Structure 1
Amino acid sequence: MRTFVIGDIHGCYDELITLTKNINLKDEDLLISLGDLVDRGNKSKEVYEYFKNRPNSVVLMGNHERKHLNGTLSYAQEIVKIQFGERYAEFIDWLKNLNYYYETEDAIIIHAFFEHDKKLEEQKDEVLSGTTSGDRYLEKKYPENTYWNEFYKGEKPIIYGHHVVGDYPKILNNTYGIDTGSCHGNYLTAIELPSFQIHQVKAQKNYWTEEQKKWQIPVLKNKNWNAMTFTEIDKQLAKLAYIKEEEIVGFLNGLQEWKDQLQDSLRDMKEMIDHITRSIIEKNPDTFPLEVEKYLFKGFMYKSRTNRLEVKDLEKHIDTPQKVLDMQMELKNAQ
């Protein structure tokens, strides 16, 4: 049985298959992914399925897997969520079982960082997986413009990924950095153990540049705009204001118009609440508290009763598109 440790794949399925063919990978061989299976490449789901179904495979937790698991989705993760569709929940469940390191007789395998003065079992998960918090933690520990492997003096080699080191693995102080940027059009790299022989495949193209353009509209349409606050929507629109592509500009302009219409409707809602409140007072002034109990917006009605209801009161509490739509339905049913 042979052992191969493969660097950050990032959805580059075709390169993965080519590499396994080049090394003549057999079922009895152990294949270890040091994390970041998905995101940025064009076939993240296929990479996931390959490792899920392949015998003698180990996958470590990378920072991109952590983002999916924790629900902190940026653009790359939002793309993958759409690609997985109904199987995304299955993917998340699978991620829960990933380990943060793997050790063989020949090497320690991690995704990202390693504190040189701590034992393997003492390492923090956020350090091993290369999260933002792990990165900030190490910034306080090590001198500026230095990297953890500059201080490593251990006898056992460490194989890691996470940061693109160039076209060829970075070998320093018995550490091997093997993220060679396959999703950016560079190389997918594997190390064979115990010989530490390097195997590489050139990526067919810069997948991430292509994927970013391809998925802009689907990702925008897939966002849960209804659940965002109007302030959050404004921030998203401001963040995307630099985009000049006609189709995307059209979508964003439509989103802006929709948001403005919903916010403008709050004035009409106030008038409707005032009208319903006055009607109750005119008909049953003595039983007003009892009459308003059936309305979900009774808090606004109490303010309206004493002429204290203002549009800003509605703006404070009805601060998402969904809340506006729900209130519109409530008012319609109340008439």
Structure 2
Amino acid sequence: MQNQIYIISDVHGCFKSLKALINQFPNKENSKIVFVGDLIDRGPSSCEVVKFIMDNNYDCVLGNHEEMFLEFAPSKENEDLSNSKHWLFNCGGEQTLKSYTCKDEYYKQYDFMKTLPLYLEYKDYKTADNRYLVVSHSAVGKVWDKRDSKDKDDIEEFENHLLYSRYKNSNNKEIFNVFGHTIFSTPVLNEYSAAIDLGCYHEKDESKLPSPRLCALEFPSMKIFTQENMEGV
């Protein structure tokens, strides 16, 4: 039987919830694990989340919140936050900066986030109909065929789509795309993709999001694991 890989949705600084989710896996922390990005912001423990992923050498793709962090958070070259108000106060950046108590660790993680790829391909993990796994932050959609383009406009469109696009999924014949970014009340699976962000950090909303959770997809079995937010516990 093919080994399973676990794809984990947008953690957003929810470290207790992440640990509890992984504890549900049959092989727990020894599993093959990959993250869809948005490790940081909003929740209280971004530093712990990123450190845990680095210490365990887990795979991860770049999310739009990591991109915002690299653009607006202090760097060694520029500590000015005057242009960072939107990220700080509307996107959870303030909580992220508060989670760091050591500058060395902060810059170590800053450098790590700069290395994150836009997508990851796992050609040894396949569905029954022979689609191989591709993990990205948002759906690769109709720009997947532009991934190797050298054209400046194509490169920009591809990057923006994989970081920010919503509701623009499409069937790319050879791949099964797993992604996060857009929050749903339950995972959205079809024959060619899975959207797994269930809004772990989010406040409960009985009409729109009655059960915010952290989610993982076991692939290729398509088994779903979820964990309610534990950050206040």
| Coarse TM-score class (shorter-chain normalised) | 0.7 to 0.9
Structure 1 Cα separation of the partners of residues 192 and 202 of structure 2 = 26
- In structure 2, give the amino acid aligned to 1:77: G
Q: Is the 8 A contact 2:34 2:60 kept in 1?
A: yes
Quick check: 1:108–1:156 contact (8 Å CA) kept in 2?
yes
* Higher normalized strand content (fraction of residues): 2
Partner in structure 2 of residue 47 of structure 1: 49
Quick check: which has more Rg, 1 or 2? Answer: 1
Task: Tell me by how many angstroms 1:103 deviates.
Answer: 1.1
Q: CA deviation at 1:152?
A: 2.8
Which residue is 1:243 aligned to?
Answer: none
Give the 5 Å matches for 1:83-162. Answer: 83-85=99-101, 86=103, 87-105=105-123, 106=126, 107-116=133-142, 118-119=144-145, 121-122=147-148, 124-130=158-164, 135=165, 147-149=167-169, 151-162=170-181
Tell me which amino acid in the other structure corresponds to 1:158.
N
| Structure 1 pair 148–24 and aligned structure 2 pair: CA distance change class (3 A) | same
Q: More helix per residue: 1 or 2? A: 1
Distance (Å, rounded) in 2 between the aligned partners of 1:195 and 1:28:
18
Q: Structure 1 stretches of 5 or more lacking a match?
A: 136-145, 208-335
Residues 50-98 of structure 1 deviation map (CA, whole Å, 9 limit, x = unaligned): 101014x101100000011112641211331232142322221111111
Partner letter of residue 25 of structure 2?
Answer: I
Match of 1:15 among 3, 17, 21: 17
Which of 216, 224, 229 aligns to 1:190? It is 216
Q: How far off is 1:155 after superposition? A: 4.0
Partner residue in 2 for 1:313: none
Q: Residues of 1 paired with 2:217 and 2:137: CA distance? A: 14
SS in 2 for 1:184: coil
User: TM-score of the superposition, structure 2-length normalised?
Assistant: 0.73
Q: Secondary structure at the match of 1:103?
A: strand
Contact 1:10/1:41 (<8 A) preserved: yes
Q: Greater CA deviation, 36-45 or 69-78?
A: 69-78
Structure 1 position 177 matched with structure 2 position 222: no
Match of residue 71 from structure 1: 72
Between the aligned partners of 2:108 and 2:222, the Cα distance in structure 1 is 35
Q: CA separation of 1:71/1:177 partners in 2, compared to 1, >3 Å: closer, same or farther?
A: same
Q: Give the letter for the 1:47 counterpart.
A: V
Q: Distance in 2 between matches of 1:10 and 1:204?
A: 13
Residue 39 of structure 2 is matched in structure 1 by 37
State the aligned residue count: 189
1:251-330 superposed matches below 5 A: none
Letter in 1 for 2:173: G
Offset at residue 154 of structure 1 (A): 2.6
Per-residue CA deviations over 1:83-138 (Å, capped at 9, x if unaligned) read 214232222111111111111133111001323254262462222122xxxx5xxx
Change (3 A) 1:120 1:156: farther
CA contact (8 A) 1:157 1:174 kept: yes
1:104 and 1:92 mapped to 2: Cα distance?
Answer: 26
Higher relative contact order (CA 8 A, sep 6+): 2
User: TM-score, normalization: structure 1?
Assistant: 0.52
Would you say the 8 A contact 1:153–1:173 is kept in 2?
Answer: no
How far the C-alpha of 1:163 sits from its partner, in A, is 0.9
Give 1:26 deviation, angstroms.
Answer: 4.4
| Aligned counterparts of 1:70 and 1:104: Cα–Cα separation in 2 | 29
Q: Percent identity?
A: 25
Task: Please tell me whether residue 60 in structure 1 is matched to residue 79 in structure 2.
Answer: no
Superposition deviation, residue 27 in structure 1: 5.0
Note if contact 2:44-2:96 (Cα within 8 Å) is conserved in structure 1: no
2:82 matches 1:80: no
